Structure 1
Amino acid sequence: MTIKRKTPTISAKEAAVRYLSRSDHAEQALRQKLLQRGYAEQDADEAIAYCQDYNWLDDARYAATVRRNGIAKGWGALRIQQEMTQKGVHEWLIRQQFEDDTFDWFEHARAVAVRKFGESVAETASMPQKEQARRCRFLQSRGFEFEQIQYALNIEDDYL
């Protein structure tokens, strides 16, 4: 049994503008959304070109927004990069967002740990290994690197 898609009632350009008026999208994500809604590939390409001409669709701006929002959510660089990849941001744009990075990911990891676990983060090294592991897993799931986790939780090298 095949499911018939209803023919779209508005043009691909109008649909693209509506999507972009609600939230910013990466080019690949917008293309996929238009194709899923039943628009022809050529119509989707024309709509994307139209939006890019008016600077309504800009992958670099979108990547910067994802980075900013990820930091605000307490994510590390690895999690932010994963989110960008999932949203269809080109690999070279992702690298560009983290090139010459002046953001202090170590202090960010510590701030996230303090927000989650309170001021007891400073005493993590004296806690049972099970609790240390739980805290490490939390920061790992947020996309922080091992060195950043060690710094944030004041854990010695031999533990990780």
Structure 2
Amino acid sequence: MFQKKTPTLSSKEAAIQLLSRRDHGEYELYQKLSLKGYEEQDVQAAVNFCIDHNYLDDLRYAKSQVRQHVYKGHGERRIRQELSQKRVADSVIEAAFEQEPQDWFELAKSAAEKKFKGIKAKDQKEYAKQVRFLQYRGYSFEQISYALSGENEE
């Protein structure tokens, strides 16, 4: 019924076209090219070509992901999880976090202030809701405690 149409671009051209829009991780680029219908050896050749010519760099990709997620107000745990799901190596993730240092406590505090407008929880149920929100965002319990503590009044 449905036939895979053969791609009109070469796998290298398609890879460069994808990378011209935004940085991709190695695994992510491999997956996208495979879904476009390229043969496995062509996909591998295109990925290797991009790596050799520095068009594809997992560290650069990981650093840009860290910056994007920090801008969105996400915490370290969430960023690590997202990068792991995209199959970025743990050593690359560590290097990205070292090269893009953040004050996670202050980020958690600003995320809480933005969401809850500086209003402290009235009861345990509301406090638990605030904690869950910050946990979902990827902050640790220490960072959440700091963010929700009463020490932030000016």
Letter in 1 for 2:126: E
Secondary structure in structure 2 of the residue aligned to 1:25: coil
Q: TM-score scaled by structure 2?
A: 0.90
Q: TM-score scaled by structure 1?
A: 0.87
CA distance in 2, matches of 1:143, 1:75: 6
Cα offset, 1:99, TM superposition = 4.5
Q: Mind listing any 5+ residue stretches in structure 2 that lack a counterpart?
A: none
CA distance in 1, matches of 2:12, 2:100: 36
Match of 1:19 in 2: 18
Which shows bigger deviation, 19-28 or 88-97? 88-97
Match of 1:147 in 2: 142
Q: Mind listing any 5+ residue stretches in structure 1 that lack a counterpart?
A: 156-160
Letter in 2 for 1:17: I
- Give the aligned length: 150
CA distance in 2, matches of 1:100, 1:6: 43
Secondary structure in structure 1 of the residue aligned to 2:117: helix
Cα offset, 1:104, TM superposition = 1.1
CA distance in 2, matches of 1:110, 1:102: 17
Counterparts in 2 of 1:129 and 1:97: CA distance versus 1, 3 Å: same
CA distance in 2, matches of 1:102, 1:26: 21
Cα offset, 1:100, TM superposition = 8.0
Secondary structure in structure 2 of the residue aligned to 1:119: coil
CA distance in 2, matches of 1:100, 1:24: 17
Match of 2:124 in 1: 129
Match of 1:63 in 2: 62
Match of 1:76 in 2: 75
Give me the CA root mean square deviation. Answer: 1.7
2:75·2:108 contact (CA, 8 Å) conserved in 1? yes
Point out 4+ residue stretches in structure 1 off by more than 6 angstroms. none
CA distance in 1, matches of 2:58, 2:76: 18
CA distance in 1, matches of 2:34, 2:100: 36
CA distance in 1, matches of 2:22, 2:76: 22
Secondary structure in structure 1 of the residue aligned to 2:5: coil
Match of 1:158 in 2: none
